[in-house]
Amino acid sequence: MPKTAVTLPREATRAKNPVPAAGWSGRTLAVRHPGRIGYEPALELQATLVERRRRGAIPDTLLLLEHPHVITLGSSGRAGHVLLAADELARRGIALHHAGRGGDVTYHGPGQLVGYPILDLKPNRRDLHLYLRALEAVLIRTLAAFGLAGERDPSATGVWVGGAKVAAIGIRVSSGWITSHGFALNADTDLSYFDAIVPCGLPGRPVTSISRLLGRRVTPEAAAPALVSAMAAEFGYGSVDDPGGANSK
């Protein structure tokens, strides 16, 4: 994703001096695992959760899921970064959607762990660039659990290992400072599908996966517990409600 992989809330310009980010020891992170779900139903689910979080009806929530093959275009997406014609996309079973997130074009599919955090950034994390950096830190922590050294690239949002992109980030922050969309970590992804796009609008940059880097299969299910632990640690949650994982406490 490019540096501007973010959709700003309308009131963002009023938060010129946000309080420095601090741990959320008084909060619980609720983790939900919908399984493999289509892109449009996932958008609808996010919209429902965003509204409920805005009303305080639910705690901060992290959706961890997989999508069927789909290419999504963010707010800065260029149609020319989709390299296959519509009939070829259909032949390969790849859907195409415009997404309400920041960033350019990306691919989602089986074997990829997609995370959609529905968080209230108030009162002390109303800084969108710091939020992006925090998500990068979550992914770097996750990779470290597998012995991999994830890195940032100062020219592009996301996480890289050895110069190849292993995780993409594209977020939305709506009124009330409630987040949606999020990140995609290539766990056991069929990387050949990335040939259908210019990933994140960055030509000539390779992509990789945890499985390729380790030379053994690491499924999204296997990566999820490390990611939940990383999310709890990076944001400082006091507790985690994760009935679908090994991180309940």
Give pLDDT < 70 ranges for the chain. 1-22, 74-81, 83, 100-103, 197-204, 245-249
Q: Which of 63, 138, 200, 207 is catalytic?
A: 200
Looking at residue 243, its pLDDT comes to 87
Q: What is the pTM of this model?
A: 0.87
H or E stretch covering 35: strand 28-36
At 28 the pLDDT is: 98
For 3, 5, 39, 52, 136, the CA distances from 178, given in Å and listed in that order, are 20, 16, 20, 10, 18
State residue 6's pLDDT score.
Answer: 47
175-197 per-residue burial string, b: 16 or more CB within 10 A, e: under 16: eebbbbbbbbbbbbbebebbebb
For residue 60, give both structure tokens.
């901060």
**CA within 13 Å, CB half, 165:** 27
Sign of the CA dihedral with 41 first, then 119, 52, and 180 last: negative
Give the tokens for residue 143: 């990779």
* pLDDT score at 105: 81
Please say if 200 is a catalytic residue: yes
According to CATH, the topology of domain 6-12+22-241 is BirA Bifunctional Protein; domain 2 (3.30.930)
Q: What angle do helix axes 220-235 and 128-144 make, rounded to 10 degrees?
A: 130
Which pLDDT belongs to residue 34?
96
Domain boundaries, the chain: 6-12+22-241
- Quote the pLDDT of residue 85: 76
**What span, in angstroms and rounded, lies between the C-alpha atoms of 164 and 205?**
7
Q: Quote the CA–CA distance of 6 and 171 in Å, as a whole number.
A: 5
- State pLDDT tens for residues 228-243: 999 999 999 999 999 8
Q: Are 18 and 74 in contact (CB under 8 A)?
A: no
187 contacts 115 by C-beta, under 8 angstroms: no
